[in-house]
Amino acid sequence: RGRFVRINTFALLFALAANFLGVTSFLLGLLPGLQGLYAIPADFTQFYPVKGWKRYVGEGNFEFIYPVRWLADQAVTLANQARGVEDQ
């Protein structure tokens, strides 16, 4: 019984971390308004959309909330990654 609980707890945590089937996004979306975007650290809001929105926080006070359907330019992203440049 203890092993069953440990395995299922690990599976639940893995599903939440991986946003499996959108579980994490759904749970964050239960918060009123867009508060789900602010409930987790800014680095994670780039990966977990909340009610169709993502958040990018840059240096200083710069913050940008954008729709999930918007994509980064893949050519630029791949070129920066090949050069070893971090997203600024």
pLDDT in tens, 37-49: 888 887 777 778 8
Euclidean distance between the first and the last CA atom of the chain, given in angstroms as a whole number = 48
How sure is the predictor about 85, in pLDDT bands with cuts at 50, 70 and 90? low
pLDDT in tens, 33-83: 888 888 888 777 777 888 888 888 877 778 888 888 776 666 766 777 787
Residues 70, 85 contacting (CB under 8 angstroms): no
How sure is the predictor about 27, in pLDDT bands with cuts at 50, 70 and 90? confident
pLDDT attached to residue 3: 94
Residue 8 scores a pLDDT above 80: yes
Residues 6+ positions from 19 with CB-CB distance below 8 Å = 25, 47, 48
